[in-house]
Amino acid sequence: MLVCFTFLARAGKEEEFEVLLNNEEGGKAVARAMGATRNALFLSPGRMVRIMEFPDGAKPPTLLDVARKDPKVMDFLRKIGPMIEDGFDVDHPETLEAFNRRALVPLAYDVRL
């Protein structure tokens, strides 16, 4: 199962946004905690696209569930939330849930060739 999400940096936060996101070890840690088998990050000026692959039938935990177990993830969410256009406040879980719904790109099809 593939999951894709994308979002933009707030104007003026692009460089800080990209530096924070472009951390391979942090990305690996979050992907492992969510049960992903693959985590690909695409960055362009001010835009992030992430594609994660999960085993078929998997039900990944929410990012907030992962953050509640890992202080580093919680710290990351506190830093990134205000940098995102229409972002979130991790201390108000409903804003993170709403953000996740906005950032998720629905799968149109997945064809293995």
Q: What is the pTM of this model?
A: 0.86
Written as six digits, the tokens of 60 are 């990944």
Task: Give the total number of structural domains in the chain.
Answer: 1
In a domain, 113, yes or no: no
pLDDT at position 112: 85
Question: For residue range 9-24, what is the model confidence (pLDDT) as tens digits?
Answer: 999 999 999 999 998 8
Domain extent for 31: 2-105
In this structure, of 21-30, 36-45, 78-87, 96-105, the range with the lowest mean pLDDT score is 21-30
Report the CATH number that the domain containing residue 17 is assigned in CATH.
Answer: 3.30.70.100
Question: For residue range 27-72, what is the model confidence (pLDDT) as tens digits?
Answer: 898 899 999 999 999 999 899 999 999 999 999 998 899 999 999 9
Is the pLDDT reported for residue 92 higher than 90? yes
Each as own residue / partner, the long-range contacts of residues 21-26 (CB below 8 Å, 24 or more positions apart, any chain) are: 21/48, 21/80, 26/72, 26/76
In a domain, 111, yes or no: no
Distance CA 41, CA 22 (A): 8
In a domain, 51, yes or no: yes
Question: How many residues belong to the chain?
Answer: 113
In a domain, 97, yes or no: yes
